[in-house]
Structure formats: C-alpha cells, structure tokens
C-alpha cells in the first residue's frame, strides 16, 4: 500500500516556547515534518540533554526526539533569534504568558512579524482574560487579530492502561485539531505548517469559542475524575460529559462565542478525551480529590501543570460577570479549588439533589465580553 501523500509545506524556522509534554511533542512533530525547530526550555538540563542525546529528561523520557530540533535556553531567546523565525509557537501555561509576551514584544518586527501560534488552554487569574486579550494587551490589536490558536483532543502523552498502549501523538497515531484565527490566511498558514496524514488540521474563525472550550473542559475533567475517584461509573461520567458540554455551550454563548464551536474538536472532542483518560492531568487531580487527597498535596507532587485548577478561579469571575448558572462548574470551583478540604461527597450530594431543569437552556443575553474584546481588537 503506498504511503499517504504529505502536506505541501515549505520548510519553516519555528521557535517553540515551552519544553513540557505538549511543547516537546509539537516540536518533534514539526521537526519530523522537515521544519527547522528551536525548542526553548527554562531548565538548563533539558536544553543540554536534548542537544546531546535528543531526549527530554523531564517529559516523554523514552522518546528519541527529531534531530531537526535545537534546544535553546534557559535564558529567553533574544532579538537575533526571534527575527530569524517564521513561526513562534507558545506552549507555556496561561498564567506565565503575559510576562513572557511583555519581554518578547520588544523583539517583534512590526513590519513583518512571524506567525504566532498559541496552544495553551486557560484563563488568567485576577484578570479572567483569555489568551487573545493577553496578546492584545501586550503586543497590540494587530498582532492579536493575526494570532492563531490550536486546540482539540491531542494529548502529548498517554500511558499503558489494561496492557494496551494508548494513542500517542509522538507515535504518529491519527490526531485531529482545530486551528482558528480572526485572520483566515493565518489559520490556513498554521494548518499547512502542521497538517500531515497523522495530524489533521481543520480551520475555523472563532478563536474566542476555541479558547473558552479549551479552558472550560479542564474544569469538567476535574469533575469527571472526582466522580470516578468516588467510585461512580460510566453512567455518571456520561452525565458529566453531556451536562458539561451543555454548560460550556451556555457559558460560551453568553460570552459571545459561536455555540457550534463547542460541538467541534476544540469543544466536545477535547472534553470527551479529557474526561475519559486517566492520563489527563486535570482528570488525575479530580480522581485524587475523589479518593480523599488534599488539593495542596496533589499539586505539590503532580509533576506538571493542571490548568483546570487555576482556570476554575477565572471561570468563577466569568460566571459572576455573565450572571448565568453552571452547576457542575460551580461545584468544582467552590468545593475543589477555592475551599479544598470540604467534604467532596457532601458537594456531590448537593449537586445531585438540585431540582429538575431544562436540558437545553441557552441564555437570552449574549455577547457582552466578546463585544468588548472585539472592540479592543478594532473588529466591532
């Protein structure tokens, strides 16, 4: 059987910020797609190991990374390297994005800036800003309008479950993602950069919905993990996924996103995977909470960032601003994040004892925060 035809993409110079699971995975994918990749890590040992042995001692430890990757760091790359790049890809946690963009914006060529791609999923604590707004605040509306966002069911790392090896992006198992931007040409450019037979890209024009979906699903993954930790089974998980999707769509619609976005890869696709896999960091947090472990203990030895824990605090601010109800999200926010240690079984009991309500209940008032953001971007 002949090999599948590769995507047509000219080799590009790509700088990936963040050598965690997902950043390393995407760098490896792009390196194997014949792009010239630079991978920044703030840990000197990771830089040294990748350059000497093509292995990451912190993440995906058994994987031999593409020889097209050059690791850089621990200092943040400077103007010379930035201006050589065709693409800057950000795979660093949302809570650290603003400070890094404020440093890097000084090096961006205002006449011809590189393609900017963001794969982080979260809401900034304190400001409850989406990544799009952080980019606007730090780099300006012009750069934010051209920024692209990649999201979808695409774990960088899985493990062996029931003696079966789960899908691994680094093993080139088929994966699909959503690539969105307000600028269609930039979304297409990012899709062409990544697209391969095993890594399929679908473009869209609703980055606000894509961002919200990617952030919110982490909160519901905590809820799903907690339910499993408490001993509930498939019926309960299906309920959480389905009702979680309804809540995500309600929140997104009230915010001003396209409700159809939540039915795509960045919405239900990512939600289903994050709520179903024991190797999801957010699911793991919830599962351990369900088993009675304290949140502080979980965070201290998790070994990687679970965005849902910090995102939950931003979600509370968004719910308060929108004036809408999202019962599952609220339970996660109050009982598992803001007041850790309260009896989680009591929290679940309270949730299950709520009165019956409409299954589909989209808000009548929509679009406030999105309209403000669009005005900030000059797209109103």
Residue found by looking up tokens 């669009």 in the block = 374
Q: What torsion, rounded to 10 degrees, do the Cα atoms 111, 113, 115, 117 define? A: -130
Going by C-beta distance under 8 Å and a sequence separation of 6 or more, which residues neighbour residue 364? none
- Per annotation, catalytic residue among 157, 217, 316, 371: 217
Q: What is d(CA 158, CA 146) in angstroms, rounded to the nearest whole number? A: 32
Helix (H) or strand (E) run with residue 204 in it:
strand 199-204
Q: What is d(CA 234, CA 249) in angstroms, rounded to the nearest whole number? A: 22
Q: What is d(CA 211, CA 123) in angstroms, rounded to the nearest whole number? A: 9
Can 316 be counted among the known catalytic residues?
Answer: no
Q: What is d(CA 18, CA 277) in angstroms, rounded to the nearest whole number? A: 23
One DSSP character per residue, 323-346 reads T---HHHHHIIIIIIISTTS-HHH
Q: What is d(CA 18, CA 21) in angstroms, rounded to the nearest whole number? A: 9
Using CA of residue 13, residue 17, residue 19, residue 25, what is the dihedral sign?
A: negative
Three-class secondary structure of residue 270 per DSSP: helix
Q: Are 225 and 285 in contact (CB under 8 A)?
A: yes
Query: How distant, in Å, are the alpha carbons of 216, 244, 346, 361 from that of 357?
Result: 22, 14, 21, 9
**Structure-token pair, residue 262:** 């939540």
**Structure-token pair, residue 318:** 């968004």
Residues in the chain: 380
Q: What is d(CA 87, CA 91) in angstroms, rounded to the nearest whole number? A: 13
User: Which residues carry out catalysis?
Assistant: 217
């Amino acid at each position: 059987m002949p090999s599948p035809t590769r995507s047509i993409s000219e080799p590009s110079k790509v700088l990936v910020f963040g050598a965690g699971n997902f950043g390393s995975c995407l760098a490896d994918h792009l390196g194997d797609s014949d792009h010239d990749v630079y991978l920044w890590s703030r840990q000197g040992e990771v830089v040294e190991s990748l350059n000497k042995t093509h292995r990451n001692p912190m993440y995906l430890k058994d994987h031999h990374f593409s020889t097209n990757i050059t690791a850089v760091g621990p200092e943040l790359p400077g103007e010379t390297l930035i201006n050589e790049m065709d693409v800057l890809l950000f795979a660093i946690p949302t809570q650290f994005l603003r400070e890094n963009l404020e440093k890097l914006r000084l090096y961006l060529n205002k006449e011809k800036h590189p393609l900017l791609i963001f794969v982080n999923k979260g809401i900034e604590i304190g400001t409850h800003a989406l990544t799009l707004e952080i980019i606007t605040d730090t780099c300006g509306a012009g750069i934010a309008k051209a920024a692209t966002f990649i999201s979808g069911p695409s774990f960088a790392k899985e493990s062996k479950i029931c003696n079966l090896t789960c899908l691994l992006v680094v093993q080139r198992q088929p994966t699909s993602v959503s690539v969105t931007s307000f600028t269609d040409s930039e979304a297409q450019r990012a899709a062409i950069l990544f697209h391969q037979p095993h890594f399929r890209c679908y473009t869209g024009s609703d980055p606000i919905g894509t961002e919200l979906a990617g952030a919110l699903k982490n909160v519901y993954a905590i809820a799903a993990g907690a339910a499993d930790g408490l001993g509930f089974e498939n019926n309960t998980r299906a309920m959480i996924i389905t009702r979680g999707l309804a809540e995500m769509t309600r929140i997104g619609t009230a915010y001003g996103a396209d409700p159809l976005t939540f039915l795509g890869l960045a919405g239900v696709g990512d939600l289903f995977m994050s709520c179903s896999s024991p190797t999801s960091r957010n699911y793991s947090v919830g599962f351990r909470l369900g088993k009675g472990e304290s949140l502080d203990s979980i965070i201290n030895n998790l070994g990687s960032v679970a965005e849902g824990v910090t995102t939950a605090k931003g979600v509370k601010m968004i719910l308060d601003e929108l004036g809408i109800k999202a019962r599952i999200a609220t339970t996660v926010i109050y009982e598992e994040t803001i007041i850790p240690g309260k009896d989680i079984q009591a929290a679940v009991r309270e949730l299950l004892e709520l009165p019956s309500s409409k299954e589909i209940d989209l808000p009548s008032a929509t679009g406030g925060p999105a309209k403000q953001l669009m005005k900030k971007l000059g797209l109103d």
